Structures are given as structure tokens and as C-alpha cells.
Amino acid sequence: MHNPALQHCGIDAQYVRVQVPVGSVGEALRKFAKAGFIGINVTIPHKFEALDTVDEVDPLARTLGAVNTVHIKDGRLYGYNSDGPGFLRSVQEAFKAEVKDLRVLILGAGGGAGRAVAVQCALEHCQALTLVNRTASKAHELAVELQGRGVQARSVAWDAEALAQVLPEVDLIVNGTSLGMKPEDAPLLPAGSLLSRHLVFDMVYRAGGQLTQLGALASEAGAAYVDGVTLLLHQGAISFEHWFDYPAPLDVMRAGLRDALCA
């Protein structure tokens, strides 16, 4: 999506992929700066190391606890996080809704993008926040932390009985895990627990537009659903805007992303 955007905007640059070993992020970022790079996207497992490496951290990235976008300007490294803002834009586009008006349940809220989305929901003062994680203690600790931000937050066990009890009290369901990309993955929700009024946000996606496991459950229930492609698009647009201080050509990026996934 980035190379079509660069070409469309007449920017003489190219987006490339570079593999960096764990523990070498600081060295890599300094080399990128010396080589004249404009910006970098950082993916797992490097987001926490990037947070500790950049020269200046955006306050939101500091709050979310990770850096996934770096802008290089005058040799200095500026760190941002597009997970939370990209999530907000995606919910607005997909569901014509604002997170502040919703009761949200997040599966996989213990770390990574799931944690970032949970914190972003708290910052938006969502109506209520329910956190679920395989390691229950992580969800509980985060719930206590977010209660200190003035949001009604709780953690529940990841089992069929507990989920069946809380789902009727939820508007937006977010999958922040990697589960669902493969047909053989364990079920995320108990059968029959989704309602047609639910909004279902899956942070994963399958190539070619195939439904994820959660997408199939949402389709059966008649619930509104969006997969992770929309989040990927808006994360990319936010990165582009940090790098160039210029509105991202969203339609061009969307077409480029769609073509790549279909290929």
C-alpha cells in the first residue's frame, strides 16, 4: 500500500522490508538514520525495543507502551504508535460508531496490540471495558490499571461459561489474538453466543478475503464484522502522515493493499 501511495504523491522514495534480529533494533535504527531513511514501521517482536531506542517518544506511544512507527528527522528518531489510533479510525469506518459510546470486550488484552487497544478504549472513556486473556493475571492487572483512568474495567476468565454470561452486556467484540487465521485454531467464543446486534472487530485477516473463524461466527449470527485489513490500512495511513506531514491517499492505499492480498 505504501509504494502506490508514494508514487501517487510524487515522492521519490520506496518502501522496503528489512529483517532485523531481536536485540539489534537500536543498531538497525541508527544505521537507517545514517542511510537516509525517512521512516520505519516496526512489527512484533520489536515494538518494545523500539520504544527504548528512539530519541523522542510520542505521549500516546508512551501510554500504549510500544512504538511501531518511527520518523527520522535531522538524524533524530521519533517514535509513535498507530495501533490505538488505527483502531479508532477502523471502528468509525466499519461500524459508523465511536468507541466512547460502546461497551467493549477484548480477547487477548494481555499484551501487544490487544493491550494497546484496551488502553485506547480507556482513553476514549468507553462505556465499559471487559478484558479477557489466556493468562488471567495479565487481564486482571490491566483492568486494575485502567480503572485508575476512570473507566469501568473488569477481567473475566476465558471459558465458555464466563463469556456466555458477559457477551449480552457487550456491544463491540475485539479479537486481539492471532487466533482465527487457521481453520484448525481453537474457538474464540462459545457457539451461539454472538448476537445480531454485536459489532465484531477481528485484528487478524486471511489472504484473499476469506473469513476468519470469528468472521464466520459473525456471519452466522448476522452481526456486523470487519477483519484486520481495515486496521492495517489505517495504521499505514497514520504512518504515512507521520513521515510526510501530508494526508495519506487512503483510496490509493486501499487499492494497493487489496491487490497485494488478492495476489
Tens-place pLDDT, residues 81-92: 999 999 999 999
Instruction: Output the average pLDDT for the chain.
Output: 93
Among 61-75, 174-188, 237-251, whose mean pLDDT is lowest?
174-188
**What confidence category does residue 113 fall into, taking pLDDT thresholds of 50, 70 and 90?**
confident
Looking at residue 209, what is its pLDDT? 72
Quote the pTM value: 0.92
SS (H, E, C) 16-28: CCCCCCCCCHHHH
Distance CA 249, CA 255 (A): 10
**What confidence category does residue 263 fall into, taking pLDDT thresholds of 50, 70 and 90?**
confident
Tens-place pLDDT, residues 156-208: 999 999 999 999 999 999 999 888 777 777 888 988 899 999 999 999 888 77
The Cα-based distances of 242 to 81, 86, 203, 245, 247 in angstroms read 10, 13, 22, 6, 9
Looking at residue 244, what is its pLDDT? 96
Q: Is residue 71 within 8 Å of residue 80, measured between CB atoms?
A: yes
Looking at residue 67, what is its pLDDT? 94
Looking at residue 137, what is its pLDDT? 93
Share of the chain above pLDDT 70, in %: 100
Looking at residue 182, what is its pLDDT? 76
Same fold, 2-81+230-262 and 84-226: yes
Looking at residue 31, what is its pLDDT? 96
Tell me how crowded residue 179 is: count the other CB atoms within 10 A of its CB.
19
Share of the chain above pLDDT 90, in %: 79
Map grid coordinates 494481555 to a residue: 110
What does the pLDDT average to over 100-129? Answer: 93
**What confidence category does residue 120 fall into, taking pLDDT thresholds of 50, 70 and 90?**
very high
Looking at residue 65, what is its pLDDT? 86
**CATH number for the domain formed by residue range(s) 2-81+230-262:** 3.40.50.10860
Q: Is the pLDDT of residue 41 over 80?
A: yes
Looking at residue 140, what is its pLDDT? 95
For the chain, the domains span: 2-81+230-262, 84-226
CATH H superfamily, domain 84-226:
NAD(P)-binding Rossmann-like Domain (3.40.50.720)
In DSSP terms, which residues pair with 73 in a beta bridge?
76
Catalytic residue list contains 34: no
Task: Quote the cell numbers at residue 11.
Answer: 515522492
Among the options 31, 34, 47, 182, which is catalytic?
47
Distance CA 1, CA 232 (A): 10
Q: What is the DSSP string of the chain?
A: -HHHHHHHTT-----------TT-HHHHHHHHHHTT--EEE--TTSHHHHHHHSSEE-HHHHHHT---EEEEETTEEEEE--HHHHHHHHHHHHHS--GGGSEEEEETTTSHHHHHHHHHHHHTT-SEEEEE-SSHHHHHHHHHHHHTTT--EEEE-SSHHHHHHHGGG-SEEEE-SSTTSSTTSPPSS-TT---TT-EEEES---GGG---HHHHHHHHHT-EEE-HHHHHHHHHHHHHHHHHSS---HHHHHHHHHHHHH-
Q: Which amino acid is at 134?
A: R
Q: Is the pLDDT of residue 63 over 80?
A: yes
